[in-house]
Amino acid sequence: MENNKRKSIFPLVVIFLFIGILVFGAYWYGKQSSLENTKNEIEESKESTSSKDEEKKDEGENGKEDESEKMKEEDTEEEIKTELKKLFAVKYNKEIEDVSITISQRKGDYIVGGVKFTGEMAGGYLLGAKVNGEWKIIFDGNGTIPCSSVDKVDFPSDLVTECWDTVNMESVDRTK
């Protein structure tokens, strides 16, 4: 009788195991596809940015552009958020739609704000800077900001007034 129960349960276990493997495979494949899509979007964005830069260079060489027009070409807040969302999506293997960026302060090519992912309880602190024409994540997280992060891009001291010197293990007042 007991042997008979084992024979009837075994096929069910095999079926559930097979279904589990299929579900896991579909999930993994979906994640890989979304990661590829995110990478492709970033590549396309870089290509369009580089073609815009080439057009600007051509216009500048032909003398069609004056200084006042160059000053107006500053990135909008939405453009900055879009670029940073793409960077966070790649860095943390997330969908772009799952990344939320807030900008609380901006000074030229430097921003201070926050980042939050859909489904997570809390977000983190965000420092971003435009380096060589591209927005970069300088720091993100919930800890003390390392001085090495802000010093390498000359982050304005009025945006980040304090940082942590990891060499001397002490807090540094950047306003002095």
Range of the domain at 102: 76-176
Q: Check whether residue 89 and residue 173 sit in a common domain.
A: yes
Beta strands in the chain (DSSP E): 99-107, 110-117, 124-131, 134-141, 162-165, 170-173
Residue 48 CA to residue 52 CA, distance in Å, equals 6
Give yes or no: residues 40 and 127 share one domain.
no
DSSP structure class, residue 161: -
More confident position, 8 or 1: 8
Q: What is the pLDDT of residues 12-60, one digit of tens each?
A: 778 877 787 877 776 666 666 555 555 555 566 556 555 555 555 555 5
Shared-domain flag, residues 89 and 68: no
pLDDT at 60: 52
Write down the pLDDT at residue 176. 82
d(CA 31, CA 134): 27
Q: Are residues 92 and 162 in the same domain?
A: yes
Q: What is the identity of the amino acid at 124?
A: G
Q: What's the mean pLDDT when you consider all of the chain?
A: 80
- Alpha-carbon Rg for the chain, nearest whole angstrom, is 24
The pLDDT tens digits for 140-150 are 998 899 999 99
If one counts the domains in the chain, the total is: 2
- Per residue in 115-139, pLDDT (tens digit) is 999 998 889 999 999 999 999 999 9
- Mark whether 85 and 119 lie in a shared domain: yes
Tell me the C-alpha distance between 21 and 32, whole Å.
16
Does one domain contain both 86 and 29?
no
Strand ordering across the sheet containing 110-117: 99-107, 110-117, 124-131, 134-141
Co-location of 88 and 61 in the same domain: no
Question: How many Cβ atoms sit within 10 Å of the Cβ of residue 89?
Answer: 23
**96 & 172 share domain:** yes
